[in-house]
Amino acid sequence: MDYDPTPLATRLHAGASPEQLAEPGLAFSRYYGLDFPARLVRRRWLQGLTVGGVTIAVHHFLPHAPRGTVLLVHGYQDHHGLYGHLIEYALKRHLAVLCFDLPGHGLSAGPRASIDDFDRYQQVLQGVLAHRATLDWPGPLHLLGQSTGAAILCQHLLQQRPSPDGTVVLLAPLVRPAKWQLVQTAHRLLTPWTNGIPRTFTSNSHDVDFLRFLREQDPLQARIISAAWIGALRRWIPGFLALAPAPDYRPLIIQGREDGTVDWRYNLGVLQDKFPGCRICYLEQGRHHLANEAPEIRHEYLAWLQRHWTV
């Protein structure tokens, strides 16, 4: 591990300006492969945004002659630095990209990989959307989320009317994890005794280099699964299931059939009820971390998106 993000995070949490964050932000971008060439990015900057008393890291990528904006929301245990493939895809389509780290993830503040209530994610999303409105970036606004990020976006769509006017893309969306009954039982038994359990890095992608990077080289990876986060998910699921459907939204859903992280058959049934007009791309060999799947699998679903996502 040859990169230490601590100085960057410390400056960001202290309220440093985008100019003061430029040099350490460039080092961050180089390490995670976000240092896209000038032909793709006219301007980029990193800044801290305070939402609900927590400093959230927000990264901006503005291409030449943008034709819209993408708001990208990462999954649990992730951070925006891992989403270079999708950011590059959007930039090549002349879309500005706004991405941020959820509380307790990446460069953002908060207890690592934890949350006390999923409604805090909605608070952060609303804060980032309000920030985007100050940028004078072009519409339409597209939403793209992976796993927990997709769950956050789905709740937003079902609760907020009107919602952003662009396309919604959901990768391996979470409603409940795989083996949910076992997870709940373990949570009830272990919560009185521990704040979390050691994290096992699963083979959630066919990209072995990515998996090795997570295990050995990414300093922003949490090493526990938070009991508080599981508890917050347990409380969130019934409320989400009770939300009324939104037939006016037609999200594009991409799901791998080899996904062992979420209960994808159950989840897609729920989402088809919530969004009757959704369209689903099934990937026969896709695992969970679709943002970092093997190149041939990414190319398969990006080609599908190219046909269905009008920009």
For helices 148-159 and 227-241, angle between their N-to-C axes, nearest 10 degrees: 40
Please write the tens of the pLDDT for every residue from 151-186.
999 999 999 876 678 999 999 999 999 999 998 887
- Coil/strand/helix, residue 262: strand
What is the secondary structure of 139-176 as a DSSP string?
Answer: SPEEEEEETHHHHHHHHHHHHSSS--SS-EEEES--SS
Tell me the pLDDT tens digit for each residue of 208-245: 999 999 999 999 999 999 999 999 999 999 999 999 99
pTM value is 0.97
What is the DSSP secondary structure assignment for residue 245, as one 8-state letter? P
- Checking if the pLDDT of 39 tops 70, the result is yes
Domains of the chain: 6-308 (3.40.50.1820)
The torsion angles phi and psi of 44, rounded to 5 degrees, stand at -140, 145
**Residue positions counted in the chain:** 311
